[in-house]
Homo-oligomer: A and B are copies of this chain.
Amino acid sequence: MEGYEKLEKARERIIETIAQNIHLYGLVPSAGRQYGMMFFQNEPLTLDDMTEKLGMSKTSMSTSVRALSDLKLVERAWKKGVRKDLYKVSDDWYQSFIDLFSIKWRRSVTLHLVAIKKSLAELEQLLADPTTSEELQEEVQIDIEKLKYIKNYYEWLERLVDVFEDQKIFDLVPIMNDSDNNLKD
């Protein structure tokens, strides 16, 4: 096998692994392939570059690069003289992981807490209502306990997201470079 072929094969293996695991980011394999391809390019790419490299429509490239951008997996780049939009993969993967948390889980936590607080308030009121039968009161009381439990859980999750966001997680799980090796020069 020829040298460039070997290089290409080594890259393809990584790209395909990314594609098959990107569902953890809520993205589909083709977006992962796009990300993986960009990872091995040493220059930012335009939508037309991606269309050519991946053999997919420009519309697809546009929508999936936006999905990747929303999760901060890729970012806009600039190069003088180039009018087209340019994109490159964010080179701090630790930060990308943290961003996933911030963006996806934070949002989920917030939605849950809003719902829980609202339902909890309604149930407390129902419990206090003198027209509520004793039988219903018991059921309501059980639900209130359940909601208090999951409220605590989501508050914990919120603090967990905080810990990622403010980088404290690196105190507990430090970054260790087995060689002095870093993409960011």
Q: In the bound complex, do residue A148 and residue B181 qualify as a contact, i.e. CB atoms below 8 Å apart?
A: yes
Q: CB distance A157 to B97 under 8 Å? A: yes
Which of A46-54, A63-71, A72-80, A164-172 binds B? Answer: A164-172
CB–CB A143/B10 < 8 A:
yes
A136 → B minimal CB distance (Å): 5
Alpha-carbon gap, A94 to B153, bound state (A): 7
Q: Find out whether the CB atom of A40 lies under 8 angstroms from the CB atom of B155.
A: no
A114 to chain B, nearest CB (A): 8
Kindly identify, within residues 120 to 135 of chain A, every residue whose CB is under 8 Å from any CB belonging to chain B. Answer: 122-123, 126, 129, 131-133
In the complex, how many angstroms separate the beta carbon of A89 from the nearest chain B beta carbon? Answer: 10
22 A-B residue contacts at CB 8 Å?
A3-B129, A3-B131, A7-B139, A7-B140, A10-B126, A11-B119, A14-B147, A16-B115, A17-B111, A20-B111, A21-B108, A21-B112, A39-B146, A40-B146, A93-B149, A146-B183, A148-B181, A152-B177, A152-B178, A155-B178, A156-B176, A159-B173
